[in-house]
Amino acid sequence: MISPSEFAIFPVITVCLISLFLINKFVKIAPRTKGDLPLDGLRGYMALTVFLHHAALYCNLLVNGHWSVENMSAFVQFGQTSVFIFFMITGFIFFSKLIDATNKTIDWQKYYVARFLRIYPLYVIVLIMILVIIGKLSNWTLFPPFSDRIMEVIFWLFFSQTTLNDYQYAPTITSAVLWSLSREWQFYALFPLLGAVFLHIKISLKLILFSILLLLLFFIMNIPGDKMATIETNSPFLVGIFAAFLVRNKHIRQIGSKKIVALFVLLMIVFSYTYYHTIFSFFPYSLISISFIAIASGNSLFGILTNYISLILGQISYSIYLIHPVLLFVVYHMFPQIIQLVSSSQQSFWIVTSIVGALLMVICSLSFRFIEKPFIEMGSKVSNRITQIKSVSSQTT
């Protein structure tokens, strides 16, 4: 039986990176120059491997008739491990902010405003794209009852992947990736409570009630579509939190950032991806967690994670994560000529997918530049304005 070739990842990644380099000559995305830069690059490559994971699924579906990559360890890990590392990064970055907080106080209003403006603007646009696709597939017919159609959209606003316009395969348009965004928001809701418990961060009763309400809201709204709600899928946040404490030790940082450790990290990642069919096992999970701690300590893996193009890839990683499944669906579901071409062989599939990857880099660069970045800046401005208002209010009282 033909399976997606793991060697196909190298030309696809090469085409994506070259395309990103070229498009950035025109779009001009500036890489970050401070902060946890290795994690920026890591985030970018994880988003790219999720794209490869779903591309491999389409390859197997179109060439062999099966939506599965169970026999290909690397492609399975590209899906599972990448999302786990996203969760580790979230736990690490946000708990680091708590640890560094002066006077053990956080402006939680600023925090939630910034999170909302970071996540939702691009997602709403992608959701509109999905609704347009559903409209096309439904011959522009809105099926009654209309109250159900409205509720479906509300569920999707909470990242719950239910039907849309009674189209039961709507989650396939996003390759069911939205569960991770719901999980991220559940972590954001718990964040103040975790800070209060572990770091004695000051929080009000109002914030406690808001956090619990937000957590319950995302949890309940995702019950219909979330099939991944397990302790295992939440545990990477704890790995990130543990790493945030661990790297505060300068000896850990010194050891973790050594070049010999970089070599071992690369070997551990390759070994985990090659010899294990899932990260849901103690040994591969341990290898990936140790690798993450080393990278969180500042290890750039010989500069792979901190070179110019890797940092740009990290900047557009959210766009890649949200947009790639929609692009794959459109290309491999709605263009019969392309479907006929790529169904003939793996080689033709991966050649076309390289072109799709290049197109993805163009789209995501533009979406970051003209959608994500303006709203990130707006979040900063709104946050500063909130601080000013609170400062004036405290002075007058």
Q: What is the pLDDT of residues 73-116, one digit of tens each?
A: 789 899 999 999 999 999 999 999 888 876 667 888 888 999 99
Lowest-confidence pick of 217-221, 222-226, 238-242, 245-249 = 222-226
Region of 312 (left: φ > 0; alpha: ψ -120 to 50; beta: rest) is alpha
Average pLDDT over residues 368-393: 83
- Of 92, 159, 94, 135, the closest CA to residue 321 belongs to 159
Distance, in Å, from the CA atom of 314 to the CA atom of 85, rounded to the nearest integer, reads 13
**Type of residue numbered 331:** V
- 16-56 pLDDT per residue, tens: 999 999 999 999 999 988 888 999 999 999 999 999 999 99
- In a 3-state reduction of DSSP, which class is residue 202? coil
pLDDT of residue 255: 95
Which helix (H) or strand (E) element contains residue 126?
helix 108-137
Per the CB < 8 A criterion, the answer to whether 237 and 194 are in contact is no
307-360 confidence digits (pLDDT tens): 999 999 999 999 999 999 999 999 999 999 999 999 988 889 999 999 999 999
Mean per-residue pLDDT, 124-131: 97
Q: How confident is the model at residue 1 (pLDDT cuts 50, 70, 90)?
A: very low
Q: Tell me whether the omega of the peptide bond preceding residue 145 falls within 30 degrees of 0, making it cis.
A: yes
Let me know how many helices (H) and strands (E) the chain has, helices first.
17, 0
Other CB atoms within a 10 A radius of the CB of residue 263 amount to 12
